[in-house]
């Protein structure tokens, strides 16, 4: 969804449209079940914000969900949890972010394979200006997973030796970067 412009009827400055384009899954299956459809524009509630998605992360977990492995997720739904973009509106009680802020999200309430995504402010993070939207969309799942594995579960400390099996994917690459930075 990098660079997509929203379509639909005009709205207020904080909520630019009434409809948007989104990838939807209406039945479980392979990539052929992904459909580009019109969807309602999300509106933020208390503690929430709406993100204009400039780039969406594509993670293996998205394919698992699409195949029906998680009974908590039922069609129809919009896939995707990681994204980066700009805040377009904030709900009541959100003071950490304002319209126009560059952010990345680790988890979305509405799915990130869309022009706009509804997100909890507590799962939204500032995106520094040198970091591109594509990089920001690739941050949360791989880097949070690697950080948790190394420092929360394994309690890794500088000077220790670490074996990172499969350092060719997103989580493995993040683990190598964290391990090196921590002196492992």
What is the rounded CA–CA span in Å between residue 91 and residue 129? Answer: 24
pLDDT in tens, 36-60: 999 999 999 999 999 999 999 999 8
**Mean pLDDT, all residues of the chain:** 90
Q: How far is CA 124 from each of CA 65, 69, 104, 121, 154, rounded to the nearest angstrom?
A: 22, 26, 6, 5, 26
CA dihedral 162, 167, 172, 173 (to 10 degrees): 110
What is the rounded CA–CA span in Å between residue 88 and residue 51? Answer: 6
On the question of pLDDT at 166 being above 90, the answer is no
On the question of pLDDT at 15 being above 70, the answer is no
Describe the crossing of helices 140-147 and 170-181 by its angle, rounded to 10 degrees.
Answer: 50
What is the rounded CA–CA span in Å between residue 24 and residue 82? Answer: 16
């Amino acid at each position: 969804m990098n660079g997509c412009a929203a379509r639909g009827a005009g709205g207020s400055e904080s909520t630019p449209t009434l409809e948007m384009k989104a990838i939807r899954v209406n039945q479980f299956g392979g990539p052929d079940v992904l459909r580009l459809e019109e969807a309602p524009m999300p509106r933020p509630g208390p503690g929430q914000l709406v993100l204009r998605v400039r780039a969406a992360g594509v993670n293996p977990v998205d394919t698992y969900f699409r195949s029906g492995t998680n009974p908590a997720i039922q069609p129809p739904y919009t896939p995707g949890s990681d994204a980066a973009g700009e805040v377009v509106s904030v709900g009541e009680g959100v003071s950490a972010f304002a319209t126009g802020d560059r952010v990345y999200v680790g988890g979305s309430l509405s799915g990130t394979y869309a022009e706009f995504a509804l997100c909890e402010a507590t799962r939204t993070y500032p995106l520094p200006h040198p970091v591109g939207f594509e990089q920001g969309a690739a941050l949360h799942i791989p880097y949070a997973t690697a950080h948790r594995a190394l420092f929360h579960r394994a309690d890794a400390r500088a000077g220790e030796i670490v074996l990172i099996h499969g350092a060719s994917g997103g989580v493995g690459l993040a683990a190598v970067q964290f391990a090196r930075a921590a002196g492992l």
